[in-house]
Structure 1
Amino acid sequence: MMPVTSHAGGIADPFVRPSMPEGSNQRSAAAEDKPAETLQPSKIAYRADIDGLRALAVVPVVLFHAGVEIFLGGFVGVDVFFVISGFLITTGLLQDSSITRFYERRLRRILPALTAMMVTSAIAAFFILLPGDLLAFGKSMGSALLFGSNVYFWRQSGYFATITETWPLLHTWSLGVEEQFYIFFPLCILVLGRWRRRILPVAIVSMMAVSFWAAQFLVGNMKGVMAFYLMPSRAWELLTGSLLATGLIPGVRHRMVGAVAAAAGVAMIVFSVLTYSAATPFPGVSAIPPVLGSALIIWAGQKGEHSLSPILGSAPLRFIGLISYSLYLWHWPILAFVRYVHIDPITPALATLAVVASVAAAYLSWRYVERPFRHVSSRSKIWGWSAVAGAVMALLSLALILSGGFPQRFSPSIVALNADQDDSWRCGPSSFVPLGSYYACGIDLPSRDPRKADIILWGDSHAQMYVPALKRALHGRSAVLVNAYGCAPTVRGGQDADCARIQNENFRLIAKLPAKIVILAQNWPQYRKEAGASAGGAKSANRRFLPAARRFAETVDALRAAGKTVYAVTAIPNPEYELPSVVSRDLAFRGRPRHPIGVSTAAFDEDFANVLNTENTLSQDGKLSLIDVRKFICRQDSCQFIQGGNSVFADHGHVTIAFADAMGPTFDTALRPARVTR
C-alpha cells in the first residue's frame, strides 16, 4: 500500500555525484562550451556509504509498496532520504553559495528522469485510466510541475486510504516537500551572507525545533495526514542533515566510534522498518529513530572510513543507491497501474513481476537519462532542456484537464459511475472557525463565531457528509460542524486514546455553546471491530457494535443533561470498499460488477441489530429524534448502493453531494419543530 499516511518513500535523490572515479576518460559536455557559459559543480567528496544509505532507504520503500508484510514500516525511507538531501545540499551551498548554480544543479539532477517517468506515465494513463481518474492524473501532473503535489495529495485523501494505491503520481509528494525546501533554505543562506557559518547552525536548530513541534502538534491533534505531506512539518528532517553539514557537531575521530555510530544508525532504521505500520502516529516523535539513524550513519563517515564503511559501500548497495532515484520514480507508477487494472489486491507473483519491471526501468532510466544529463554543464542546455521538459508536461497536463479525462473512450454509464468517486462534501479552509484548541466548520455562519450558531452537527467524517442536507433545512439559521475524522462523538472513553481525548474535549465545548440543537452522526460500520468478546475470547455476533452503541446512549444522556435537544442521523449500510472506482473499473475491464452493489434489508437488520435497537429505544423513550436517511438506501427488501446509474457513495462509505442534497427535505421535516429553538 501507498501514503497507503499514511506513507510513500519520498526521494528527491539529492545532489549529483560530483566526482568521477580515478582514471575515468569521460568528458564533460561543458568542455565544448565557452567558460562563461559553463556550470562548475560544487566539489563534494563522493561517499560510497551514502549510496549504501540510499539503498537502505529505497529497498524498504519499494517492498512496502509491493505489499511485503514484513516491511510495513518501509515508508520511513522518505525520512532517510530527507536527511541525506539536507546534508548534501547544505554542503554544496556552503562550498558554493550561488543560488543560480544551485538551481541549475537541481534541474540537471531531478528533471530529466522525472520528465521521462511522467511523460511515459501520461501515455499509459491515457490508455488505462477511466475519465475521472485520468482527469485527476492531469491535475496531479500539473501540481507536480508547480512543486505542489504534496499539497494536492494532502487535500485529496489520507495517505493510507486504499484508493491512493492506484494514483500513479502519488509518490511525487516527496519531491514537492524537497522542492519547497529548496526554495526557502538557499534563500536563508543567502540572507545570512558572510555571517552564515556562525549564525547558520543557530538558525537551523531554531527552525528544527519549530518544525518538529509543528509535526508533533499536528499528529497529536489528529492531523497526521497534514503533518505527513506538508513541508513545514517535514523540514526538521532535512534540517537534521543540514546541521551535520555545518560542522557544528565535531566529526568522528576514532574508527571504533564511527563503527558503533553507524551500527546504531542502521539498527534504528531497521527497527522502524520492521515495527512501524499504518497505525504508527507519524511523523513527529516516531520519525526520530529513522532520522537520527540516518544522521548517525552520515556523521560516522564524515572524517573517513570506519569498519562498517566497506559494507555500506559494497558494490550491491552502491549500485542500488546509484539507481535509487530512478527506482523510486518508476516503481510506484508500475505498481499503481497494475493495481488499477487488477482491481483486487495483487498477488505476490504480480507484485514480484512489478518490482522486477521497476528495477529494469530504473536501470534504463539511470543509464540513459540520469547519467547523460548529470554531466551536462552548459547553462544554455540546462535551461533550454528544462524549458522544453516543463512545456511538454504542462501541455500534457492541460490536455488531460481540459478534455475532462477524454470521456469518449468509455460508455456514458461507466463515465457517470466513475465520476461519482470522491464526490462527498468537505469543509473548505475558508469555513474553518476556532473552537477551543482546535477548529470547527461554520455552516452559513457569517460571524465565524460558534457561539452564534443555532445548530451543532457533531460526529466523525459522516457528520461532515450530511452538511448539504442540513443546509437545506436551515432557513436562515446557522450551524457549526464539530467533527474528528474516524472518531465517533462520545462524552467519555472512545475507540482509541486520541479519539477519546479530542471528542471528550469537543463534548465539553459543545455543552458550553448556546445552541440547543445537537445532531449526531457517525460511520457505524467503522466501529463493528469493537464487538465485545465472549468469556472464551471469541467474537460473538450478538455483541456486534455493542460497545459503540452503549457509548452512543451515554453521549445522548450527557447532551440532554447539558440542556440540549438531541437528534441523530440513522445508521446506514455502506459498501465498505471504494465502490464508484471499483465498480466502474469492473465494468470497463471485466464487463460486469464483480463486487457487491447492495445488501438485503434482512442482512442489514441482523448485522446492525444492536445499533437499531439502541436508536429505537432512545427514540421511544423521548431522548432523541431520529432523522431517517436509511429509507433513501433501503427500500422494501434491499439496500442498493447504485441508483439510477449513479453511486450513492463517493467512496467506501460517504454519500455523494447529490445524494446528501436529496436528503435535505428529510432533515427539514425532522428539524421543523425546532426552528424557533436555540
Structure 2
Amino acid sequence: MASRGGDFRGDINGLRAWAVIAVVLYHFSVPGFGGGFIGVDVFFVISGFLMAGIVCKGVEGQHFSLAGFYLARARRILPALMVLVIVLLVLGWILLMPKEYQTLGKHARESLLFSSNLRYLDEAGYFDITSHEKWLLHTWTLSVEWQFYMLYPLVLLALSRFFPGRQPLLAAHLLGLLGSFGICQYLSIRQPDAAFFLLQSRAWEMLLGGVVYLLGDKIRLPLRARHFLEVVGGVFIIAAVLLLDASVPWPGTAVLLPTLGTALIILASRQNSMLTGSWVAQWLGERSYSIYLWHWPLVVLLVYFGLQGSFLPVLAGLLLSLLLGHLSYHCVEGPVRVWLAQKTKVRSAAWVVVCLVVIAVSAQMVRRSGFPERLPEAVAQIESERHNNNPRLEECLGEAMPCVFGGEQIGALVIGDSHADSVVTAIAESLPSKQQGVYFQGKSACLMVFTAHKVSGDEEPEPCQVLKDDLREKLPTLYPGKPLIVVNRTSVYAMGELPMPGVKHPGRPTVYFTRQFETPATEFLRDFHQHYVASACELSEHHPLYLVRPIPEMMGSVPHLLGRAMLLGKQVELSVTRSAYEQRNAAVWAAQDEAAARCGAQILDPLPYLCDENNCYGSRNGWPLYVDDDHLSEFGNRLLIPMFAQIFAEVEAGALAHE
C-alpha cells in the first residue's frame, strides 16, 4: 500500500475495502454474497496497477532497482504472513491430529515460499468442500502475485533495453494481457482448477491494471465522465458479487465484470467519492491485507468446531477478523516495514531471509513429523491405529508379488486390491489348521476384472494389468480346486471416490472398458456389469469362487476423526447409514448376484459383522475398526473371521460327504 504521500490514491485504498469485504463475507457464507470471491480479482487488478506505477516509472526514468523492488515487496508481504504462520503452527500443536498437523506444515512451507497455488492445484479445487480444512488456502493469491512480481520487472527491463519508451511498454502489456486471457478462457473450459490457480491464466488481470496505469497516466477526463466511469465500475463489481456464485466457471468470461469494473474505477480516479472515500472504506482499505490474512483461518476454525452455520459464531468470526486485522496492521505490518526500511538494504534483506528460513524450516519439521508425542496418551493410542495395517503390506501389495500367510499347506487363494490386503490376515486366521496358509497376490487400485482399464493409468505396461495378465495365465493350474476369494473395493471402480479431503474427482469411475466416463452413467454401469460377470465366470472355472461384498466406506479417516473428537472432549461412534451403503453399492451387488446365479460364485457379506439394521460402523466402543476411511485395521478385520471360516467349514463338509 502506498504511504500517505503525494502518490496516495484514496480511491484505490477504498476499493481495497470493497474487495476485502466481498471476500470475507463470501467465505463466512453470509447470504447475498455468493459472488464475493471476485474480491480477489479486484485485488489482482489493483496490484497490477500499483506495480506498473513502480516498475514502469522506474524503467522509463532509468532509476529502477530490481533488488530494491523485491525487497520492498518482501517487507510489504512477509512480516504479517510469517506471524500468521507462527500462530497457526502453535494453534495446530494444540488442536490438530498428526496428519492434519503435517498438512498444515506442508501448506505453511509452500505459503512462505510462494508456491502454495501449485500445491493446492495438486490437491483439489478452490470451491471443493475440502477447502475448508486448509488453514492457508487463501495464500494462493499471494503466491500468484509474488510469481508475477518476480517475472514482471525482468520482462520490462529486458524490453526497455531494446525498445525504450512508453509505447513498447504498452504494447507488451496488451500482448501479454491478450495471451494470458486466451489461456484463461481455454483452461476454464478444459482444466478449470488450473485456470483458477496458475499465474499464466491470472497474469492478464494484473496486466490489465498495468494497462490502466499506462493509459490513465496520459488521459485527462472531465469530472462528469470520471463520475460516470466510477458508477459503471461500481455497478459491475456489485453485480458480480450479487449475481455470481461458485457454480459459474471461474475465471471464465464472467471475470470481466469485476476486473473491468475495477479498471474503470481506477481510471476514474475520483478521490473522496461516496463509493471509496468514506472513513470506513479508508479504515478497511488500510487494513485489508491483514484482514484478508486472518479471516480465512477463522473460517476454518468455525468449520473445525462445526459452528460454520451458526449466527453468533459467524458474527464473532467477522468481528474477530477485523480485530486481528487491526492488530496485525498496527503491531506487525506497519511497524516492521518501517523498522526494516530504516536499515540498510543488506541488513533488511538479511533479517527477512533469516526469519523466513527459520519459520520455513520449522514448518518443514512439522510436515515431516506431525509430532504425535504431543498428544494426550489416550488420543495418541487411537491415532496410532492408522498404522495398524497388514505388517507385510509393502512386501506383498507394493510389489504385487505372491505371498503366503500362515502355514505352507495352501488352503485358499486371495486376489484383489488393498482391501484384499487389509483382510488377508483374517482369512489366514480363519483356516482350520495352523499348518494351512493363504496364497495372496494383489495390487493397490486393481480391480480383478480382466478387461477393465484404469482411468489414470499412464504407465506402460500398467502394473495392475500386468498382474491381471499373470493371474489369468497361471490361475487355472495354481492350486486347482482350492477356494479363490476375490476382495476389491469394487464400489470405487464403478461409482468413483466419495467427496472427501484430497479427492479431486469424486463420483468419477476409476476404470473404463470401451471409453472413459465422468459419471457412472447407465451405459458405463451396463458395461461394468457385463465385464464383471464375465471375469467372475472365468475365475470360477478352476476354483470355487467367493466374492466379498464391498467393505463399508466411512466419510473420513476413522482414527483421525475419533482422535480429533477425543481431543475436543467429545465421544463419538463413526458410522454411515446402511441405506447410503446400499444405494452406493447397488450396481456392484447386482453384478455379484448375477455371477452367483450364472457361474455358481458364492457371496460373502461383511454387513452382518460390521453393521446393524440402520448403520455400518467405523468404530466399536470408541475404538477404530479402520486405519483410514475404507481399509479395515488388523483389529477390525478380526470381526470377519467367522465370515471367512464359513468357507472352510463348507469345504470340510464337502470333503466328508465325499468320503
Common fold by TM > 0.5? yes
**1:460 CA displacement:** 9.9
CA contact (8 A) 1:266 1:297 kept: yes
Task: Label 1:640 to 1:242 Cα distance change in 2 as closer, same or farther (>3 A).
Answer: same
Partner residue in 1 for 2:284: 320
Structure 2: how far apart are the matches of 1:404 and 1:269? 42
Equivalent position amino acid for 1:327 in 2: I
Q: What is the correspondence of 1:483-498 to structure 2 with a 5 Å cutoff?
A: none
Counterpart in the other structure of 1:597:
575
Partner residue in 1 for 2:348: 382
2:326 aligned residue: 363
Q: Map Cα deviations across residues 553-581 of structure 1 (whole Å, 9 max, x no partner).
A: 56669999xxxx99999877544567665
Contact kept, 8 Å, 1:460 with 1:486, in 2: the verdict is no
Q: How many residues align?
A: 526
**Structure 2 match to 1:3:** none
Q: 1:580 to 1:52 in 2, by over 3 A?
A: farther
The separation in 1 between residues aligned to 2:198 and 2:98, in whole angstroms, is: 28
Post-superposition offset of 1:103:
0.8
1:335 aligns with 2:299: yes
Amino acid at match of 2:114: F
> Deviation of residue 243 (structure 1)?
1.6
**What residue is the counterpart of 1:211 in the other structure?**
180
SS of 1:590's equivalent in the other structure is: coil
Measured after TM superposition, the shift of residue 76 of structure 1 is 1.2
| 1:275 to 1:237, Cα distance in 2 relative to 1, 3 A | same
Give the drift of 1:395.
3.5
Q: CA deviation at 1:49?
A: 0.7
- Give deviations 1:504-546, integer Å, cap 9, x for gaps: xx98xx748xxxxx9x9x987xxxxxxxxxxxxxxxxxxxxxx
Q: Unmatched 5+ residue regions in structure 2?
A: 59-63, 389-449, 473-491, 497-504, 540-546, 636-643, 645-659
Distance 1:569 1:251 in 2: 74
Instruction: Select 2:234's aligned residue among 261, 266, 274.
Output: 266
What is the identity, as a one-letter code, of the residue corresponding to 1:475?
D
Cα–Cα, structure 1 residues 628 and 73, in superposed 2: closer, same or farther, change >3 Å? farther
Higher-Rg structure is 2
Distance between the aligned counterparts of 1:208 and 1:627, measured in 2? 63
Instruction: Tell me how far 1:592 sits from its aligned partner.
Output: 1.7
Aligned-residue Cα RMSD (Å) equals 4.7
Native 8 Å contact 1:228 1:234 kept in 2: yes
* Residue identity (%): 28
Query: C-alpha distance in 2, partners of 1:70/1:86?
Result: 28
TM-score (norm 2): 0.68
Residues 562-616 of structure 1: per-residue CA shift (max 9 Å, x gap): xxx999998775445676654432232134226x42444xx35764696467646
Q: 1:53 aligns with which of 2, 15, 28?
A: 15
Tell me the residue number matched to 1:10: none
Give, as a single letter, the amino acid of the residue that structure 2 aligns with 1:330.
W
| 8 Å CA contact retained: 1:86, 1:238 | yes
Which residue among 399, 405, 417 is the counterpart of 2:365? 399
The yes-or-no answer on 1:289 pairing with 2:289 is: no
Which segments of 5 or more consecutive residues in structure 1 lack a partner in the other structure?
Answer: 1-15, 21-42, 421-453, 478-484, 490-498, 513-517, 525-547, 660-665, 667-678
Secondary structure of the residue aligned to 1:70 is coil
1:175-218 alpha-carbon deviations (Å, 9 max, x no partner):
11111111111110111124253222222222222322222222
**Partners in 2 of 1:324 and 1:57 — Cα distance?**
8
State how far apart, in whole Å, the 2-side matches of 1:584 and 1:383 are: 43
> Aligned residue for 1:112?
79
* 1:604-619 superposed matches below 5 A: 604=580, 607=583, 611=587, 615=591
Question: TM-score, normalized by length of structure 1?
Answer: 0.66
- Contact persistence 1:131–1:404 (CA under 8 A): yes
Partner amino acid, structure 2, of 1:584? G
CA spacing shift, 1:165–1:252, aligned 2, 3 Å: farther
Q: Is the 8 A contact 2:17 2:282 kept in 1?
A: yes
Report the AA paired with residue 246 of structure 1.
L
Q: Which residue of 2 aligns with 1:236?
A: 204
SS at match of 1:247: helix
Q: Secondary structure of the equivalent of 1:71?
A: coil
- AA matched with 2:146: E
CA distance in 1, matches of 2:600, 2:167: 67
State the match for 1:423 in structure 2.
none
Cα 1:580–1:154 change in 2 (3 A) is farther
> 2:102, 2:284 → 1: CA distance?
34
CA distance, structure 1, for counterparts of residue 206 and residue 226 of structure 2: 22
Structure 2 counterpart of 1:145, which letter?
Answer: L
1:131 equivalent to 2:126? Answer: no
User: Which residue of structure 2 aligns with residue 676 of structure 1?
Assistant: none
- Relative to structure 1, the CA distance from residue 175 to residue 153 in structure 2 (aligned partners, 3 Å threshold; closer, same or farther) is same
Deviations 1:246-273 (A, max 9, x none): 2289635122222222222212222222
CA contact (8 A) 1:258 1:300 kept: yes
Which residue identity is paired with 1:409? L
Match of 1:24 in 2: none
**Which region of structure 1 is more displaced relative to structure 2, 180-189 or 147-156?**
147-156
Is the 2:382–2:559 contact (alpha carbons within 8 Å) kept by the matching residues of 1?
no
Distance 1:83 1:593, change over 3 A: same
Aligned 8 A contact 1:132 1:415 in 2: no
Structure 1 residues 388, 296: CA separation in 2 closer, same or farther (over 3 Å shift)?
A: same
Given candidates 18, 22, 46, the residue that maps to 2:3 is: 18
| Aligned-residue offset at 1:377 | 4.3
Does the alignment pair 1:179 with 2:174? no
Contact preservation (8 Å) 1:130, 1:405: no
